Amino acid sequence: MEEMEELFAELAKMIDSGEYIQLKKELNDMNPANIAEFFEQLSAEKQLFAFRLLTKDMAAEAFSYMDSDTQEHIVKSITDNEVRNIVDEMFLDDTVDFLGEAPANLVNKVLRNMDADKRNLVNQFLNYPDNSAGSIMTIEFVQFRADMTVAKAMEELRKTGLDKETVYTCYVLDASRILIGVLPLRTLIFAEDDMVISQLMEEDVISVQTLDDQEDIAYIFKKYNLISVPVVDKEGRMVGIITVDDIVDVIEQETTEDMEKMSALLPSDEAYLKTSVVALSKNRIVWLCVLMISGTLSGLVIGQYENLLEAAVVLSSFIPILTGTGGNAGSQASTTIIRGMALGEIEISDIAKVLWKEIRVGLLCGSILGFVNLIRLTLFSSKTNFQVDFTISLSMCFVVVVAKGVGCMLPIMAKALKFDPAIMAGPLISTVVDVIALLIFFNIAKVLIL
């Protein structure tokens, strides 16, 4: 990492001092991902200067690694001719990614520099729903016919393969473009020249459909350890491939989304430091408001027991510890279940097993916490008598059991009702558990103290 920063500093110096021959050589020797990182640190003007030193190939490749701000600035500043060069060289999925984020005037600038065929294709891709297979696939794949010989296939591959996103899995299509087999490149290169593709291909093809959800596709990649997967339309015609590098991004994006939902945030794709205060607040205020208003329920419960609290005001100082512990115990259970469901380890049909397990965990944890609490109060709390100490400790135990139960049930029920289980996490669980905890506490107190 430090070496990289030194290199970047050196390159920046070359820009300043105008050593552009040396700079050009250095840049075109670099990894495109690193060029992109370097560009993101440059001022707009310098970006443009340095970009024009890149070879055509490298410019397109580095461009596809850049963040959307840098991409937009470059497209805004370069000529139509330069745009055409980039678009010609870029893979279709990277072009579509860029266009999906870019403002309308830039989208137009890019589209008018494409030939009509590609433009139609791009428009079609931009119309696939977010998070569908169609929205993340690319069309650069290697295709063979079943009756080709190995020699002929290798010749095809040599002719066209360098432009393809992955040549390591080749696809066999019939005359109406129906996918009928796959052929790993390793099989092809280890085969005799006169063998025929249909003898070599695997017919048992794992494929996905254009409208399949990206999360399900990620699951398939993990299950079968895939590097790429073919995408077919409803009629079984092959339209594209999805490669594992895009799936890695999908997995990150989906987990970020889950974490956001679990913390009562609306999901957002933007990087934090680039998001405005208003946009951040918008993502947060909705749930804060909903939870605040549902939180008034616990206020109402407390209001109902005002007489009790007036008689023993000391009880009110135990409200936070009971609701807090309940919330924590519930969050633990809900996170465990939400993650387990996301990883496919827990199904809706496991509901009874899960509940029974959580109740036992709740009893064990609750008893320990109640006991610890009782000792602490008896030893260190001079303000409370044993009756109060016992009330609080017994409530603690009950609250934990109920919190575990609620924490594990709500995510499963959400999934059964086709909601995202991730919303049934910490914040919402705490709000629900708060009310129950208070009811348990006050009712035990009424019996034991009044």
Quote the least distance from Cβ 328 to a copy of itself, whole Å: 5
Closest CB to a copy of itself among 180 and 369?
369
* Residue 229: exposure state from Cβ atoms within 10 A (0-12, 13-18, ≥19): buried
Quote the least distance from Cβ 292 to a copy of itself, whole Å: 5
Closest CB to a copy of itself among 238 and 361?
361
By the 8 A CB rule, do 370 and 393 touch?
A: yes
Closest CB to a copy of itself among 396 and 402?
396
Quote the least distance from Cβ 8 to a copy of itself, whole Å: 15
Distance CA 386, CA 46 (A): 74
Quote the least distance from Cβ 34 to a copy of itself, whole Å: 9
Q: Which of 335, 352, 358 is nearest to 422 (CA)?
A: 335
Structure tokens at 387: 């009756």
Quote the least distance from Cβ 276 to a copy of itself, whole Å: 9
**Alpha carbon distances (Å) from 56 to 61, 87, 199:** 9, 10, 40
Closest CB to a copy of itself among 83 and 201?
201
Structure tokens at 159: 């002719």
Quote the least distance from Cβ 355 to a copy of itself, whole Å: 12
Q: Which of 278, 312, 244 is nearest to 449 (CA)?
A: 312
Q: Name residues whose C-beta falls within 8 Å of residue 146's C-beta, 6 or more positions apart in sequence.
A: 172, 174, 180, 181, 196, 197, 198, 201
Closest CB to a copy of itself among 87 and 374?
374
Closest CB to a copy of itself among 21 and 364?
364
Say whether 231 sits in a helix, a strand or coil: strand
Closest CB to a copy of itself among 186 and 446?
186
DSSP state of 227: S
Quote the least distance from Cβ 54 to a copy of itself, whole Å: 16
166-173 and 179-184 beta bridge pairing: antiparallel
Half-sphere exposure of 99 (CA within 13 A, CB side): 26
